[in-house]
């Protein structure tokens, strides 16, 4: 069994991105700018947002943070998005999800300029991805592809089974794996005989948000197991995979923490550079 080290892989991506930021600064005098918007005080979201800012600054980006109160109205948030769309210093806009219930998230995501949509959640970018065209791709699935490539894990012709059909992970993951010529199955809460499905996977991606859901009897010997879950159990972070038992069978497996998590932020930085380059025709 080989452990997939997300810290190591994300480190190489961050180095590449930081070097590119330096190069852009010396050539153009400008650096990429990322705006992060947090509405309310969800503790997990607040931690993510703080980490994003910290890494932005470490890597030489301009970082803009907007903390809005939990009772912010949809029209106020739309006004802020509009302001960020028009701000030439801002190349990337990330509105942290989930949003409070009085705000229609889809309406907000659709208001973001697709050229600045570093989450890849705007319908225009979702459409480009579905069409197999180059675009801003959701960070977590993009990071998973980077990890597979780093470890030279073949995707072509393999059966990839994704557990979870979210717009943030499951669906975009399916399109990226399909682009790389995998045969893709998406399973979800209504899938019949999920165990048999999972057992037929060469590459198994677990993104359901249930601690320890994937047990050893659901995994084929020699499978590649990617754990997207971040669940807090008794103050400890655990994934969707019962790690100790599954690690005995898997050829490759990602740990939690230290697997997929660090990749997501590295890809966000990569997407912000890409957005900056496209906006400025670099
Ligand atoms: N909340 C959990 N994951 C994400 C993400 O990738 N992007 C945004 N905007 N919010 C999230």
Q: What is the pLDDT of residues 186-228, one digit of tens each?
A: 999 999 999 999 999 999 999 999 999 999 999 999 999 999 9
256's tokens: 């939690």
Measured in whole angstroms, how far is the alpha carbon of residue 259 from the centre of its chain? 12
Is ligand 1 within 6 A of the CB of residue 168?
yes
| Topology annotation, domain 29-113 | Rossmann fold (3.40.50)
Catalytic residue selected from 14, 91, 116, 119? 119
Is ligand 1 within 6 A of the CB of residue 97?
yes
Is ligand 1 within 6 A of the CB of residue 271?
no
Q: Which residues contact 187 (CB under 8 A, 6 or more apart)?
A: 161, 162, 163, 164, 194, 197, 198
What gap in Å lies between CA 169 and CA 174, rounded to an integer?
9
What gap in Å lies between CA 142 and CA 27, rounded to an integer?
28
125's tokens: 């970018």
Contact 272/108 with Cβ under 8 angstroms?
no
In the CATH scheme, what is the code of domain 139-261?
3.40.50.720
Strand order in the sheet with 33-39: 62-68, 33-39, 92-95
What confidence score (pLDDT) does residue 44 get?
A: 86
Q: What is the pLDDT of residues 74-117, one digit of tens each?
A: 999 999 999 999 999 999 999 999 999 999 999 999 999 999 99
Q: What is the pLDDT of residues 8-49, one digit of tens each?
A: 999 999 999 999 999 999 999 999 999 999 999 988 899 889
> Beta-carbon neighbour count of residue 140 at 10 Å?
25
């Amino acid at each position: 069994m080989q452990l997939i080290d997300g810290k190591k892989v994300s480190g190489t991506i961050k180095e590449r991105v930081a070097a590119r930021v330096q190069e852009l600064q010396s050539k153009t005098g400008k650096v990429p700018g990322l705006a992060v918007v947090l509405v309310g005080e969800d503790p997990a979201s607040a931690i993510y947002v703080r980490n994003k800012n910290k890494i932005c600054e470490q890597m030489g980006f301009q970082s803009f943070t907007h903390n809005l109160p939990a009772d912010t109205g949809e029209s106020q948030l739309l006004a802020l998005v509009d302001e960020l769309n028009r701000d030439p210093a801002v190349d990337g806009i990330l509105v942290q999800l989930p949003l409070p219930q009085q705000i229609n998230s889809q309406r907000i995501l659709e208001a973001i300029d697709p050229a600045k949509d570093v989450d890849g959640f705007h319908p225009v970018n979702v459409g480009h991805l579905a069409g197999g065209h180059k675009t801003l791709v959701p960070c977590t699935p993009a990071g998973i592809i980077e990890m597979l490539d780093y470890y030279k894990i073949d995707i072509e012709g393999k059966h990839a089974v994704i557990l979870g059909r979210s717009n943030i992970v499951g669906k975009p993951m399916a399109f990226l794996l399909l682009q790389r010529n995998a045969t893709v199955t998406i399973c979800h809460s209504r899938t019949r005989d999920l165990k048999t499905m999972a057992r037929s996977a060469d590459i198994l991606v677990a993104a359901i948000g249930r601690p320890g859901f994937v047990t050893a009897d659901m995994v084929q010997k020699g499978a590649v197991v990617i754990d997207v879950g971040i669940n807090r159990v008794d103050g400890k972070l655990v994934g969707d995979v019962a790690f100790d038992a599954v690690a005995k069978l898997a050829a490759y497996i990602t740990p939690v923490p230290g697997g997929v998590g660090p990749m997501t932020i590295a890809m966000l930085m990569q997407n912000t550079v890409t957005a900056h380059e496209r906006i400025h025709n670099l």
